Chains A and B, each alone.
Chain A
Amino acid sequence: MFKITERTALTDNEYQIWLEAPRIATKAQPGQFIILRIDEQGERIPLTICEADASAGKLRIIFQVIGKSTAQLAQVKTGMSLLDVVGPLGKPTEIKNYGTVMLVGGGVGIAALFPIVKGLKQAGNRVITIIGAKSKNLLILQEECAKYSDELILVTDDGSLGRKGLVTEAMADVLQREPINQAWAIGPSIMMKFCTKVATQFNVPIYVSLNPIMVDGTGMCGGCRVTIGEKIKFACVDGPEFLGAEVDWDGFIQRMRQYHPEEVTAYQAYQVKQVH
């Protein structure tokens, strides 16, 4: 059993949890994720490891409530335990000194971006970070990103904080201004698709972190397959990071919606149950 030691609401629908998972905490590296199961009826939920505290044996995860399982996860209380936590899964980000790097995060994707920001800074890179959200109160991890960035650009759709507009516009400005050796983008699929487009226009290689629907997370089901450079890859073991320019975005995006009607049914049933 994996005990929850802290649960905090970061925004109206984004939550942070610290949990005890000593073995995973000593192994976790930036870019990796866990799969957890809340209880016996629960599905396997993949979530990025936002931070690992090896000495305390704890992991930090940040997630957005978008359906039944994340809604249920948001209800956990300090002291409760999760039935299963497995990891660290996926290939770690290749952390090294690239020179100047650009990191772009959107929405809850900022949580997945943060450990990479931190890792790259500690590896001696000049780090330019761009994070965006719909509005001010949804922009998470600002201070922490600032701490590990040489430059932090905040972007909101409504202009309530930082630049008004899209992260891709901020990206283009930076790319026009100075040479970037390597870029990363983590956020909604559409955002990553367009970040890839912009980076590619400037001939900057960009990594994206794909989050297709997963089951086992160990390469045994093939559900997380994505087409990368015309080849079938399993995001859970070959990724989740891939070069954005090689991703077949349309195929990837359409597969994310595979269970939409069932997910809606499950979420509605859950909400009804919560009210009663």
Chain B
Amino acid sequence: MPKRSYNKTPMREQAPEVRQHNFKEVALGYNLQEGQLEASRCLQCKDAPCILHCPVMIDIPGFIKQIKEDDMEGARKVLNRYTNLPAICGRVCPQEKQCEMVCRLGQSKKFEPVAIGKLERLVADWSLEHPEESIEITHDKGKVAIIGSGPSGLTAAGDLAKLGYEVVVFEALQTAGGVLTYGIPEFRLPKQIVQKEIDQIVAQGVKIETDMVVGKTITMDEIMEDFDACYIGVGAGTPHFMGIPGTDLTGVYASSEYLTRINLMHGYEFPHYDTPLQPAKNVVVIGGGNVAMDSARSAKRLGAETVTVLYRRSQEELPARVEEYHHSVEEDIQYNWLTSPVEYIAGDHGQLVGVKCIRMKLGEPDESGRRRPLPIAGSEFVVPADTAIEAIGQGANRVMLDTFPELATNRWGYVQADENTCATSVPGIFAGGDIVTGAATVILAMGAGKIAAKEIDQYVQNKQVTTTV
């Protein structure tokens, strides 16, 4: 066997100067050979710590071993036991903070961890190209409604269908997928991949009804009447605004709108698609998470000359994935650390012409343990900009909740649900994903969907026992 290399097997990428001008995927994936090389770096630990740090506890050494032995069919089988959306997780999971963070190989001096996410992606992409014969399952154990087709709802739906339930997913938008469809851009997560994974869930017998706003088109009463149980996975997509003067100028966006116009509505293909976007020369993005990175990199691709991210803390505290940050720097995204906007400056026609900012310094740690940014008096300066995108976080989607006051929520407006069972204050109604945790991650939303599927199965079976007695 060749000596283990210190570093992860590199993944081919589109060159920065090329990809700045297109929306095609940045990371091109491993081929089988590269995958086998990377797989052979895994130590096949007996008490694999990586598994414990995967929210859905994928048998990581298990599927890696199959790759190494050139048994992709076997690797697929392992993955399918734990996840319905491997091609998505392999791409967007914050691996460096989960499975890979504790990888034993990565703990030893000089070695990088095994590229678990990239290997997961390899198997998943292979699997999409080699679809399985779908096995006929009868769906006669009961009827379950899923509200919201994000990763959480889709996962619960897929698992419940496999368990023999008739499952209907209600989605408000015209396309299923939640943030995977309207938020995360094509260059990180191709919509075709999302669609293929959704198709596989549909192939298991799940019915997805789009254009259905629960609370409006169909009420919770109707759902509770027609279904044995229900899972709420409506996400946290309501954008927050800083509320600084000038927020209603044209050119000021919430990242949610900016990314929805681009991803869901194909604004980057205007006028072939009808939804427009304003052409921008100088773009300012406010925030430091994945959403900010996605907005900044999208703006660059749409032809902006300068894109500047304003972050009120320093690089050390940047919450975005390191990989995404590096990609953004390669793509010529500028950073203004310790900077906070205080006002949008208006031109003659109510359009944005600049963002007035103030410098910050880091003070004492706050409740979150991070040092609190404090403004430095007199340090104001203006960044010229015709577009500003606020990516400062989102809150609970309220449309459905507002029509269902029986459901207990917490003081931030999120649904109260038991972490271990996803049960809510209303019997038969379960909830999980961003609508319970607040904006989090794809894999955590999926994890909740998995738990909910098990609990819903138990709930419905018990209910049927008690009602027949």
- Residue numbers of A with Cβ under 8 A of B are 23-24, 27, 37, 41-44, 68-69, 83-89, 215-216, 218-223, 225-227, 232, 237, 248, 250-252, 254-255, 257-259, 262-263, 265-266, 269
Contact = CB atoms under 8 A, between A and B. Distances in A.
Given A87-B217, A218-B397, A220-B397, A41 B272 contact: yes
Contact of B278 (A83, A220, A248, A262): A262
Given A255-B250, A259-B278, A265 B217 contact: no
Contacts of B265: 43-44, 215
Interface string B259-298: 0110001100011111111100000000000000000000
Contacts of B211: 84-86
B317 interface: no
Nearest to B346: A254
Given A84-B210, A254-B249, 13 more contacts: A23-B217, A43-B265, A44-B265, A69-B274, A86-B212, A216-B173, A218-B172, A220-B239, A227-B248, A254-B349, A254-B350, A255-B350, A265-B271
Interface string B169-181: 0001110000000
Interface in B189-245: 210-213, 216-219, 237-239, 241, 243
A221 B172 contact: no
A43 B397 CA distance: 22
Interface string B372-411: 0000000000000000000000000111000000000000
5 contacts: A88-B216, A220-B238, A222-B253, A248-B248, A257-B250
Classify the interface of chain B: helix, strand, loop or mixed.
Answer: loop
Contact of A89 (B213, B266, B274, B278): B213
Given A85-B211, A262-B278, A251 B248 contact: yes
B342 to A, nearest CB: 17
Contacts of B248: 225-227, 248, 251-252, 254-255
A237 B395 CA distance: 14
B397 A27 contact: no
B261 A89 contact: no
B399 A237 contact: yes
Contacts of A84: 174, 210-211
A226 B241 CA distance: 12
Contacts of A216: 172-173, 260
B247 interface: yes
B338 interface: no
Interface string B117-146: 000000000000000000000000000000
Contacts of A269: 271
Contacts of B213: 86-87, 89, 218
Contact of A219 (B238, B247, B350): B238
Interface string B135-175: 00000000000000000000000000000000000001110
A216 to B, nearest CB: 6
B350 A43 contact: no
A19 B256 CA distance: 31
Contacts of B305: none
A36 to B, nearest CB: 9
B99 interface: no
Contacts of B277: 262
Nearest to B394: A220
A221 B273 contact: no
B243 A215 contact: no
B274 A215 contact: no
A42 B239 contact: no
B360 interface: no
A29 to B, nearest CB: 11
A3 B101 CA distance: 54
Max chain B CB contacts within 10 Å: which of A42, A227, A262, A265?
Answer: A262
Contact of A225 (B173, B212, B218, B241): B241
Interface string B349-368: 11000000000000000000
Contacts of B257: 215, 221-223
Nearest to B395: A219
Nearest to A220: B237
B453 interface: no
A225 B218 CA distance: 25
B254 interface: yes
Contacts of B219: 27
Contacts of A44: 174, 265, 275
B430 to A, nearest CB: 22
B254 A266 contact: no
Nearest to B251: A258
Given A218-B399, A266-B270, A254 B250 contact: yes
B326 to A, nearest CB: 29
B262 to A, nearest CB: 11
Contacts of B261: 215, 221
B239 A259 contact: no
A222 B238 CA distance: 7
A19 to B, nearest CB: 13
A27 B275 CA distance: 28
Nearest to A269: B271
Contacts of B251: 258
Contacts of A257: 250, 349
Nearest to B218: A23
B252 to A, nearest CB: 9
Contacts of B272: 41
B397 A266 contact: no
A88 B253 CA distance: 26
B254 A222 contact: yes
Residue among B216, B237, B278 with most chain A CB within 10 A: B216
